[in-house]
A and B are shown apart, each in its own frame.
Chain A
Amino acid sequence: MISQNALHHAEKCRFCWMCRHLCPVQHQTGKELNTPRAKGLLLSMVNKKAQNFDKDMAQAMYECLLCDACTNDCATGYQPPLFIREARTEAVVSETAPESVMKLIENIETTGNIFGDEKPSYGQDGTDVLVYVGEVAAIKVPEMAKNLLALLAKAGVSAKVLEKEPASGVMLGDLMGYTEEVRQQAAVCAKAINETNLPVVVLDSYDAEIMTQEYPEWDCELTNGVVTATAFVAKLLEEKRLEASVALGDVGACHDDDRLARTFHEFTPVRKIAVAAGYELREMFNHEKLAKSCGTAVSYGYMPELVARIARGRWDDLIRTDAKAMLVANPESWLCLNLCVPKGYQLVDLFGALL
């Protein structure tokens, strides 16, 4: 059941194949099936009844990070993630989605997150801002969350973290497209955040993306403002509420998280934080708006080996510069890049580095 709007995107390609060269999944697998355009063609064939939507096709739809690199560079302005998300909905409805995906959805149904674990409590009940930690940082990259909270405390910002932080809906949305179930998760999350009457600082830009892009469309807008953690910390630096470290001559390169770069057009804050943390910067191939994804927590959940290869590809980009440190400020990127840190190189959490 692919919408007319999504089919409109899937079928109006000029065959320029630029997306083929930009897709981080296709880079690693070399499979033509992994190009965004191939996925569009498959859906077009299903629409014309030339092909059934079967398990192989569903598998192809999940071999995508939804990083939007293809949209960013499409000359015609079409958006492959739009029809890929709907294809994932179709896969779940028609029960053709891979078992590994269904297992993650089950985990979300029982615990609210793909990992199937409970989120820890932070015991923070401040009054200036609400920090939305998100599932990935809370469960898999807890140090990054603690570092951010410590950094805010150092700057004199009184931060609150919800005792039972509801899921934002981004994980479920990535796994099965934007359905009513996802909207309901979003509504619960928005209600809990709005009840605090505090502006929300969001650590994981994936959460920030759904909160700013989809919540208003779904009638559950956050009423006190949303800011990414990187933008917030960069502002604290500007206001001299945080002090820069002494430069030690370490050379690093910032990994631009794809959603932060392409949805928020946010490249400068993370570099300001890196410089303030004492790093001399280099730039990797495909940075800023062309940011190359290193994988997501959700994709790691259902295709860990492929995500490790994709992350390794990003390390290769770093190695081509003379930087020795991969600088990240996003828990999803940290989780994936940490799968394969090359010998002699460092994965650095920028919030921790600035402490």
Chain B
Amino acid sequence: MKHILVCVKAVPVSTSVEVDGQHRLKRDGASLQWNIADESALEAAFRLTDEGGGVTVLTMGPPKLEGILTELLAKGARRAVLITDRLMAGADTRATAKVLAAAAEKLGPFDAIFCGCKAIDGETGQVPGELAAVLKLPCVSNVERIEMSGDGLIVARRIENGIQDMEVAGPVVVSFSSYSYPLRLAGILGMRRARKTVVEVLAAADLGLSPEDCGLKGSLTKVVAVEPRFPGLRRGPKETDMEAGVQRLCGILREVRR
């Protein structure tokens, strides 16, 4: 593998996030971190290109991600690209996949495109498949292990009742399970190099996309309501006795299961 594109998403650090009037996550005030499954995808890409090649990281989000992308340059990415444009706000998975695909075509060619299997905020898991469909590439999902095999890849993917080993030829879109590869730390030399590398910033127009392709307008789905999953569950007496606490927790779990 010579060149791998890794799509990453910044998700809120805290679980106590707020949504706006259009049921979109408020990201502006929230502290952000890279989605854990995307980190696995990135580390897998680093391992495949350590002996030669390079990794480009691509993300879509608010302008403040430009600074955070430098962290990924420090960890070993050769190039970092941020797609940011107000037109893209509120994009669903289909609109997101179209934008990422346009960027992949502009920045490529790539031997493979790696993604996390799903983001911890949206939890849809749809983007890798949709991205592959837009680019007319095969897609391998839920990969836990990957290695080179000649010009292709051997992957182990988690399926319902076990592990499936597959051989795939590139170019291909691969999505990785969370925690399959813990992301490496940044080194001092990497950090110094990252400071000298400019994060490339692209807007919709740079990708040849019209307003109709982006954001809410380019989305096929719309969130119409957001509500807590188990309202009232967090209210109740504080248990200080271990035995009573376990009993209460079992009761709550039984209630949730019903």
Contacts and interface: CB of A to CB of B under 8 A. Distances in A.
Interface of A: 1, 3-5, 7-8, 89, 92-93, 176, 178-183, 217-219
Contacts of A181: 187-188
A182 B186 CA distance: 10
A3 B71 contact: yes
Contact of B31 (A7, A89, A176, A178): A7
A176 B182 CA distance: 21
Q: Which of B71, B185, B187, B195 has the most CB of A within 10 A?
A: B185
Interface of B: 13-14, 31-33, 68, 70-71, 74-75, 182, 184-188, 190-192, 194-195
B182 A179 contact: no
B185 A176 contact: no
Contacts of A183: 184-185
Contacts of B195: 1, 93
Given A3-B71, A4-B32, A5-B33, A180 B13 contact: no
A7 B186 CA distance: 17
Contact of B185 (A4, A7, A92, A218): A218
A107 to B, nearest CB: 16
Contact of A176 (B33, B71, B188): B188
Q: Is the interface of A mostly helix, strand, loop or mixed?
A: helix
Contacts, number: 51
A178 B32 CA distance: 20
Given A4-B31, A4-B68, A7-B31, A93 B184 contact: no
Contact of B14 (A8, A176, A217): A8
Contacts of A219: 182
A120 B192 CA distance: 36
A179 B68 contact: no
A5 B188 contact: no
A188 to B, nearest CB: 15
A4 B191 contact: no
A8 B185 contact: no
A15 B182 CA distance: 35
Contacts of B191: 1, 89, 93, 179
B185 A1 contact: no
Given A5-B13, A8-B14, A8-B31, A93 B192 contact: yes
Contacts of A3: 33, 71
Given A92-B188, A180-B186, A183-B185, A4 B74 contact: no
Contact of A180 (B33, B71, B185, B192): B185
A176 B68 CA distance: 20
Contacts of B190: 180
Contacts of B70: 1
